[in-house]
Chain A
């Protein structure tokens, strides 16, 4: 399989961005959009090839590729940095999710983006490269590099094409993420230094750090490093005290960017949590898993309660998005195969569903220019097709059986319910009368809250008699149908056949859990 170059996959969007941005490309809006869609489709198809040739039975990294100079030197030899990429069962679904959602976001951009097309599509491709780089990196340094790069296109995408307090929101986004990532950098340097002391080798290779090491970290060191990583990922997921940037960013970002933000960018946090905190620092996560579970439950319930009282459609979806990411945290905290698989499944499910929800909001906003739930109503009368699409996605988000959300949530909650992490949990020697079962039950209560606010929202917006001022509300256009239908297709396919997705990451997850 020589033709499957993972470096090419990562750099392909960036090449597209250069082709688009250069002076040779005509300033014709239609041509730009057509090229962008074509290129994103190409990247998506190329990433599908990796699925075809991926060996699901094998745990660990596949398709590894390292860029070397002609002399056989690493990229930055004096520091032991390799431009190395690889895919395993955890990153493959996320990579395909990325290429898929970027393609859909580009299709959805037709009506939402009305100025500076060249820059917009070029930036989206830079963003795609950055995210693919994060998911595919097999080098801690390269991971960090792409993690930082992702800030720049996102900043511009929110602040130029956004609405409302866009500059404030974009700046908030960039500062929150940057503050998180400096703690990650400190942690990376710490484990890099530690490895150097014990082996005398300078390396950032993820394969070295994630496999069994010949030394073990002292508990205090391990816990501090854990928090360093955790802050970076908690800002991205987002975990409750660090979540305030997300509603702002979502409300002010244009629809396609909201789709990408909720669909892919939040997954970087969950991915990092599994990859770094779980694989590199198993000692620490064993001690701190109860805290992760408690934080996850708080995430689910607290943000669901906030979502209940939202008047703004987009804010409601944003908070629901945070609430659903809490399930990811809960699943990871369970530390067993079911929990981690559930977390991964939930990441994919949430990526698809939240992108769909934001698309729905975008469609409504485009026609009515309002996101206020109380002034909307009866839209279903004018747009039956749109209502059915929306209903499917909303029900998937609520967790209806045979749709993708159900499989994910069941797995995660099952994992948490049977988890043993609380068995040895005590605080300063005091026995804490808290059981994992009770906590999980509280978490499951979040699904009821989700049903409450989403169905209430759906009823307010689509049911009833249509208001006079929305008489001109028209049904979905072919572009929107394409986006919504392809999302629904994924929702239904993996809802009926979750094994198809689980098959890819199960061996890797089992491997990770066994190490812990």
Chain B
């Protein structure tokens, strides 16, 4: 009875998704190779149905399921919706890509769905064990997806690199969990919060924090743990790279935000650590991106830098900051996916992914170039795109956290200048330069329907958020409200800040 109640109230989308996965596995085995594309249709319709199932979940109240192992509130719901939308886009992005390989099309979609299930469970996981299981479900499916093009050397390298670094960092994370368990004797986060205040902060707690941060840092490709990202993004199939850079990161951010706000919000050294990592992440990401010649490596470093901005929102540890994170991730999902879709379109038509190959693209492909340019400008944070408001709202949250966060704000702002430099480089290649005539991109690109719709949807949404940002900010504010920040002395009280300024 209890389980049924849980499913109806909390885990309905996850239940749908599980059924869908089983269905896809069966279809993969039953169908002949030439009919395997039916799995795509099944996955897509199933995912859209799953998205609609969120209607039946109570949005504004907090519910627990599986004996307190999983929490559903507006914060986790918005992240689960984002993950699902990302997955739908990934599946649509893969349609054209999978038609290139002769066998095992069905498994590709199934693996994506399994990874998504892991990601959705990760957002609301309220137990250390649950968290670990979820993160492993997400990771292990991703390892397999990275190496999906068996005969491609780069893809193999990507899979191996991702596997080794991933396994190592999850192990470190597990070690961190064991410290936390050792201190409190509990695995449920709600219980840990109750016990933790009695415990005097010590080196063990700091160690547990650092180890857990290492695990999450790997998922978010935050800077000391980012080395896998460029190689994986370059080698993995493009839909998988898009998936890793968007969906996997969103899931990681959801879990890290809950972890930070619930357990580690008390001691200021932790937020300082997050701030240091944020600054390192965006600076290193932006600086490394400056010299990249390959667009996929450029996007890898770009997404590292974007993760840095989001981490900055976490480092202030206010409700404002959390809602800034949510809004940034909403914008990031669409603008980054649009860029990856454009890269995928270009790569399937020409088989090239160097920035110089984009030279003169705008002459023949006016609308395609415009779409890619809008996505890139949005990533750079130019007005009337979602990226501008995302950055602005995040920076506003940092400014409102107090004047002692001003240096962080300045560093972030300087970083946006670096960002403009390399995003404009791609746009310059398309619009300003002329191609030498030898390349294949002379002609008009033929874009399949599914890819076209991904590109159009993402670009339109990017522009839509860029013009009507107000309602999206309201949504993220509402979602952020369900996060409780366990600070003993709230810094963001009215009198406190004004006395500081005087």
Contact = CB atoms under 8 A, between A and B. Distances in A.
Contacts of A149: 382-384
B427 to A, nearest CB: 9
A145 B384 CA distance: 8
Interface string A187-200: 00110111011100
Interface stretch (B208-216, B241-249, B469-477): B469-477
Contacts of B167: none
Given A148-B383, A160-B432, A186-B410, A193 B399 contact: yes
Contacts of A221: 501
A144 to B, nearest CB: 8
A151 interface: yes
Interface in A105-154: 145-146, 148-149, 151-152
Given A149-B383, A189-B399, A193-B400, A156 B393 contact: no
Interface in B396-410: 396, 399-400, 403, 406, 409-410
B395 A185 contact: yes
Contacts of B502: 218
A182 B413 contact: yes
B416 interface: yes
B469 A152 contact: no
A306 interface: no
B19 interface: no
Binding site secondary structure of chain A: helix
B417 A78 contact: no
Contacts of B232: none
A75 interface: yes
B54 interface: no
Contacts of B395: 185, 189
Contacts of A156: 431-432
A140 B494 CA distance: 24
B352 to A, nearest CB: 22
Contact of A159 (B406, B428, B474): B428
A72 to B, nearest CB: 13
A190 B498 CA distance: 13
A182 B414 contact: yes
Contacts of A81: 470
B424 interface: yes
Contacts of B377: 152
B473 A76 contact: yes
A145 B428 contact: no
A175 B473 contact: no
A374 interface: no
Contact-size category for B: 35 or more
A485 interface: no
Interface in A146-186: 146, 148-149, 151-152, 155-156, 159-160, 166-167, 170-171, 174-175, 178-179, 182-183, 185-186
B421 interface: yes
Contact of A78 (B400, B474, B494): B474
Q: Which of B388, B406, B413, B421 has the most CB of A within 10 A?
A: B413
A45 to B, nearest CB: 27
Contact of A174 (B383, B384, B420, B501): B420
A159 B388 CA distance: 24
Contacts of A186: 399, 406, 409-410, 413
Nearest to A190: B399
A174 B424 contact: yes
A137 B259 CA distance: 43
A435 interface: no
A182 B388 contact: no
A499 interface: no
B382 A75 contact: no
Interface in A338-355: none
Contacts of B31: none
A194 B501 contact: yes
Contacts of A418: none
Interface in B429-484: 431-432, 469-470, 473-474, 477
A171 B399 contact: no
B456 to A, nearest CB: 15
A73 B470 contact: yes
B501 A197 contact: yes
A152 B469 CA distance: 21
A8 B384 CA distance: 18
B421 A171 contact: yes
Contacts of B414: 179, 182
B417 A178 contact: yes
Contacts of B399: 186, 189-190, 192-193
B497 interface: yes
Contacts of A196: 400
Interface string B366-400: 00000000000100001110001100110110011
Contact of B469 (A76, A148, A170): A76
Nearest to B421: A175
Interface in A390-410: none
A375 interface: no
A434 interface: no
A77 interface: yes
Given A73-B470, A174-B420, A175-B417, A145 B383 contact: yes
A247 B214 CA distance: 49
A189 B408 CA distance: 13
A126 to B, nearest CB: 11
Contact of A167 (B382, B400, B432): B432
A155 B417 contact: no
Contacts of A146: 383
Interface string B478-497: 00000000000000001001
A58 B473 CA distance: 39
A503 to B, nearest CB: 35
Nearest to A228: B410
A197 to B, nearest CB: 5
B382 A148 contact: yes
A160 B383 contact: no
Given A156-B431, A171-B428, A189-B395, 10 more contacts: A76-B473, A78-B470, A79-B473, A166-B432, A171-B421, A185-B392, A186-B409, A189-B399, A189-B409, A190-B406
14 contacts: A76-B470, A81-B470, A146-B383, A148-B382, A149-B382, A159-B432, A170-B432, A171-B428, A178-B416, A182-B413, A182-B416, A186-B406, A186-B409, A190-B399
Interface of B: 377, 382-384, 388-389, 392-393, 395-396, 399-400, 403, 406, 409-410, 413-414, 416-417, 420-421, 424, 428, 431-432, 469-470, 473-474, 477, 494, 497-498, 501-502
Which 5 residue pairs of A and B lie closest in terms of their CB atoms, listed nearest first?
A: A182-B413, A189-B399, A76-B470, A145-B383, A78-B473
